[in-house]
Amino acid sequence: MVIIESGGEKITVSRLASMMGISKPSVVELLQRLSSRGYITYERYRLVKLRPKGRKVGVHVYKHHSVLLRFIRDVLGAGEERAEKEACKVEHLLSCDTIMRIQRLIDGRLNLKGTEDVCGSK
Ligand SMILES: [Zn+2]
């Protein structure tokens, strides 16, 4: 997952390109799309800034990521590094409902009390 803004830190196109491993034109195209949908503020040659709508989505994706990371690492017993990488790959693909079910499975397996509603859906 790419955190566009962390702790008020703003990020440039070049830095995003190297973080995501894609070309600068691809980053610009992605930013323009996110900008037109109201997730970020982006102007050519200017810094990228998350808007409230974008920040909300970022936090949500991060929660999905945390659940998947715990599942792959703590339940399946995979190593931290691989768990982190694979959680990144699938976090965008799964629905909130599936994430909730995985969360419940983790809690059951690890004998944790109560399931935290990571998605805020219920
Ligand atoms: Zn969700």
CA 101 to ligand 1 center in whole angstroms:
11
CA 64 to ligand 1 center in whole angstroms:
6
Q: Could you give all domains of the chain from N- to C-terminal order, each with its CATH number?
A: 13-50 (no CATH), 56-109 (1.10.60)
- Give the end-to-end CA distance of the chain in Å, rounded to a whole number: 25
Question: Taking the C-alpha atoms of 100, 101, 105 and 108 in order, what is their torsion angle to the nearest 10 degrees?
Answer: 70
pLDDT tens digits for range 58-94:
888 888 999 999 999 999 999 999 998 899 889 888 9
pTM of the model: 0.66
CA 97 to ligand 1 center in whole angstroms:
7
